[in-house]
Amino acid sequence: MRSMIQIISLGLLISPVACTHKVNIVSPEGNHKRITHEARSKKVMVASQGGGTTRAALSVLENGGNIIDAFVAASFAISVERPHSTGIGGGGFLLYFSQKENKVYAFDFREVAPLMATKTMFLTKSGAPQPLLSQEGGLAVATPGLVRGLFEIHQRFGKLPWKETLGPAIKLAREGFPLYPELHEALEDRKNLLLLDEEAKKTFYTPAGEAPYLGTMIYQENLAKTLEVIAQEGADGFYEGKIARSVVETVRKKNGLLSLKDLKTYKMVERTPVEGSYKGLKIFSMPPPSSGGIHVIQILKMLSPYELKKWGPQTTQSVHLTANAMQRAFLDRALYLGDPDFHPVPQKELLSETYLSKLSKAINHPKALGALDVKAEELPYESSDTTHFTIADEEGNLVSSTQTINGWFGSGVIAQGTGVILNNEMDDFAQKKGAQNLFGAVGGEHNLVYPRKRPLSSMSPTIMTKEGEPFMALGSPSGTRIISCVAQTILNTVEFEMPLYEAVAATRIHHQWRPDVLKIESPYLSPEVEKELKEKGHNISHEQLGCSIQAIKKVKGHWHGVSDPRGEGLSLGEL
């Protein structure tokens, strides 16, 4: 069957796209979204969740900067523009493909547990978990890694002077940007917590304590001043001196454990990316302490022997098998994943051809298996926030970076006088082995709290190459769902040969073994397909997954950039 489908972008119909199968895709909506979701360029391309961020990266490239300067500029700008989901009080990962060296680098600037953290810090005397303690207030705060990471990566690969890369972010913080729907929603959601903090109240709410109207300008003068110090003094301007003292004093006042020593001794780690081959392509993604890379590759490899293309996307057979593959990958996640500096992760075994071929056969069961039928232990939970951006340049280099402060507005703790919103990444640890959290997931042993340990992540910045040339780079926010969203976008592009916009916009599913639910987002699959999936035993739940893929692909000598139409985003290039 060959059919034509219409795709909506910027609220306008653009040309119909030829597609082998008709698929459901989401449409962007909302008056205040800056929605340029798709762009083509021969030279450079930036896809990010913020207009100011995409323009910041482009301006640095236009001023003679290289892709790493653009990465640093985008990181600082997105910290300003998405203060609810990322920032200099958080951390992240970078995957960087250097075309000249034909090499992919992986950098880990994730937060680490404070030196005074203990395995029982979130438990009552009788050993009961206390989920709120790792989500709000001082104890939730892990040592931020973002600024140290950006500084060291820039020292090694950057071209422009460090301080020039912070220019656009300082301007954005000082001159402001209009309030957009997702930030508004986050302000409503975290109102009770943020209104307890004078600085947060003054920066983000009206004097009456309300979230402002959409379109109201948001100014962050204290953050602008902090960024100026970092521009002048480098990473030490954040990890030592006045800003560090404010971070520590504020966290301590809110019963946290962070110390000046935590900040001063924070270290970024260079890691070896996980690598897999898939349909003639090489996939590189983030290794532990992220679970993302391993499981994206596992899902794709489990599915690769099957005739998904013949069945078509969004058909019962394809969705059933994809859900089974996700379920199986998430079981491994619960069993084996954690910070590799504390527990060995059997990465080679998890990605070995022999093992994956066994899993591939095992997922081909006609009926859905319940979580208990898939032999299992426990599964850690991560929240749904975070951000991702992707950059490509004229030389064929690629950057794919996912960054986070974890939950919306992190811990809700703002280092007084600095505008720095501190993460609640401690919530990505398991409070206790086998303990259920607010979301019904249970925690794994490899992911228990330990001083200096990194909490398990799902962030999956991914880069794909074909015969040494760049093919595609992508990533997304949204906790455990990142893995499913990235894997499906690759599947849509490579297996189903969808154009990039459609591959990103197509309805997604998510299965994470526990809870034992197949989540399907809107627009849902066809009623017939959902009926057949139920008959196969899937527990279907209709819910939004929160992913926002930012992808760039090389198409006939052009960069094609797509920002997920599910939210804010701007893909823009230079012609």
Q: Would you name the residues annotated as active-site residues?
A: 386
Q: Which is nearer to ligand GLY, 437 or 458 (CB)?
A: 458
Closest CA to 235 of 139, 109, 113: 109
Number of residues counted as binding ligand GLY (CB under 6 A)? 10
Q: State how far the Cα of 248 lies from the Cα of 24, in Å rounded to an integer.
A: 49
- Candidates 62-70, 175-183, 347-355, 451-459; binding stretch for ligand GLY (CB under 6 A): 451-459
Sheet holding 35-36, edge to edge: 35-36, 569-574, 44-48, 387-392, 398-404, 91-98, 103-109, 269-271
CB of 459 to ligand GLY, least distance (A): 5
Burial class (CB in 10 A: 0-12, 13-18, 19+), 292: buried
Q: State how far the Cα of 179 lies from the Cα of 219, in Å rounded to an integer.
A: 10
Closest CA to 558 of 475, 470, 462: 470
List 406, 484, 489, 507, residue binding ligand GLY (CB under 6 A): 406
Closest residue to ligand GLY in the complex (CB): 457
Query: In Å, what is the CA distance from 550 to each residue of 29, 394, 465, 485, 573?
Result: 18, 19, 17, 11, 14
- Candidates 28-36, 78-86, 177-185, 453-461; binding stretch for ligand GLY (CB under 6 A): 453-461
By CB under 6 A, residue 459 contacts ligand GLY: yes
By CB under 6 A, residue 483 contacts ligand GLY: no
Q: What angle do CA 484, 544, 474 make, to 5 degrees?
A: 40
Q: Which is nearer to ligand GLY, 243 or 459 (CB)?
A: 459
CB of 161 to ligand GLY, least distance (A): 31
Instruction: For the segment 410-449, give every residue that binds ligand GLY (CB under 6 A).
Output: 428
CB of 87 to ligand GLY, least distance (A): 13
CB of 291 to ligand GLY, least distance (A): 8
Query: 548: which residues sit within 8 A by CB, 6+ positions away?
Result: 49, 387, 388, 476, 477, 478, 563, 564, 566, 567, 568, 569
For residue 161, the one-letter residue type is: P
Torsion of CA 160, 163, 167, 170, to 10 degrees: 160
CB of 175 to ligand GLY, least distance (A): 30
Asked if residues 222 and 419 have their Cβ atoms less than 8 Å apart, the reply is yes
CB of 455 to ligand GLY, least distance (A): 7
Q: Which is nearer to ligand GLY, 93 or 306 (CB)?
A: 93
By CB under 6 A, residue 479 contacts ligand GLY: yes
Q: Which is nearer to ligand GLY, 37 or 271 (CB)?
A: 271
Q: Mask of contacts with ligand GLY, 378-397, x by CB under 6 A? A: ----xx--x-----------
List 316, 458, 484, 548, residue binding ligand GLY (CB under 6 A): 458
Q: Which is nearer to ligand GLY, 107 or 496 (CB)?
A: 107
Token pair recorded at residue 191: 């109102």
Token pair recorded at residue 452: 């200096």
Q: State how far the Cα of 403 lies from the Cα of 85, in Å rounded to an integer.
A: 8
CB of 92 to ligand GLY, least distance (A): 8
Q: Which residues bind ligand GLY (CB under 6 A)?
A: 382-383, 386, 404, 406, 428, 457-459, 479
